[in-house]
Amino acid sequence: MTRIQKTVLILVALIAIVLGLTFSKVLNGPRQADSAQLLEAGIVLLPQGRPLPALSLTDQDGQPVALQSLTGKWSLVFFGYTFCPDICPTTLAQLRQLESQLPPATRERLQVVMVSVDPQRDTPAQLKQYLAFFDPDYRGLTGELADIQRLANTLGIPFIPGDPSRENYTVDHSGNLALLGPDGTQRGFVRAPLNVAKLAERLPLLVETQP
């Protein structure tokens, strides 16, 4: 075998190795989120991230929280209230069920945030006690009604405040969730009613592959 033939064989072998490694990386690498697959799970993505208003609310420990600090993780933001008779306990129970079905890598990059639409009754202590029933790691936010309405309207999940003059009043609100990215901008929505099985399958494709 001539020197040229040996050189050609070596080059061919090197190319084969590179192609093999590339192909293996494609097969074994994380699957990318497909918008159609996400939509089947009720996840609707926005064309681009939507910034949150420059507001500060109060968490369940009574500490001020700037909305711009909701970074570092993906956030599922739910607008509800502790005196809610139906949508809220159902949604929070479904989110607890969803988290139990997610892989650890996804759970580590995800947090649940409940923003009260009934700040008159939902004190930080009330929120903390209520959320602990579902998961003590859930974050609760309350504050001035005008600020909460501004946030809800910005995220495209408006609500109609209740009438505090009426006993046992209720608040008309949506079961949809706002989806925030690790950069603190709104990336989309999760539509109600939640499909826990499909969300458990498709949410990791988004959370683990998108920055």
DSSP 158-175: --B---TTSTT---B---
Across 165-181, average pLDDT: 97
Q: Are residues 138 and 190 in the same domain?
A: yes
The amino acid occupying position 74 is W
Q: Give the residue with greater pLDDT, 4 vs 14.
A: 4
**Domains contained in the chain, number:** 2
Residue 17 has a pLDDT of 40
* pLDDT at 63 exceeding the cut of 60: yes
105 shares its domain with 3: no
d(CA 135, CA 116): 16
- Can you give the pLDDT at residue 13? 41
pLDDT at 33: 64
- Residue 189 tokens read as 């929505």
Residues in contact with 29: Cβ distance below 8 Å, sequence separation at least 6, in sequence order: none
* 87 and 12 both lie in a single domain: no
Q: Say which residue the tokens 């996400």 belong to.
A: 38
Quote the pLDDT of residue 210. Answer: 81
* 151 and 68 co-located in one domain: yes
What gap in Å lies between CA 16 and CA 111, rounded to an integer?
Answer: 44
CB-based contact 174:79 (threshold 8 Å): yes
Per-residue buried b or exposed e for 67-83, using 16+ beta carbons within 10 Å of the residue's own CB: beebeeebbbbbbbbbb
The annotation places the binding site at: 84, 88, 173
Same domain flag for 9 and 93: no
Q: What is the mean pLDDT of the segment spanning 92-112?
A: 97
My answer on whether 200 and 120 are in the same domain is yes
pLDDT, position 16: 40
| Alpha helices, DSSP H, located in the chain | 3-28, 35-40, 87-101, 104-108, 124-134, 145-154, 196-207
Query: Based on the number of CB atoms within 10 Å of its own CB, is 194 exposed (0-12), middle (13-18) or buried (19 or more)?
Result: buried
The CATH number that applies at residue 157 is: 3.40.30.10
Q: Which class for 166: exposed (0-12), middle (13-18), buried (19 or more C-beta within 10 A)?
A: exposed
Do 43 and 6 fall within a single domain?
Answer: no
| Feature table: binding site for Cu cation | 84, 88, 173
Q: 110: which strand partners?
A: 74
Is there a single domain that holds both residue 149 and residue 59?
yes
Q: What is the pLDDT of residues 5-31, one digit of tens each?
A: 444 344 434 444 433 433 333 334 445
State whether 132 and 184 are in the same domain: yes
Q: How large is the average pLDDT for residues 96-121?
A: 97
Please give the residue range of the domain that contains residue 26.
Answer: 1-30
60 and 16, same domain (yes or no): no
Q: Are residues 174 and 109 in the same domain?
A: yes
pLDDT confidence tier of residue 191, bands split at 50, 70 and 90: very high
Nearest to 53 by CA among 142, 148, 173, 175: 148
Give the whole-number percent of the chain exceeding pLDDT 70. 84
Same domain, 160 and 57: yes
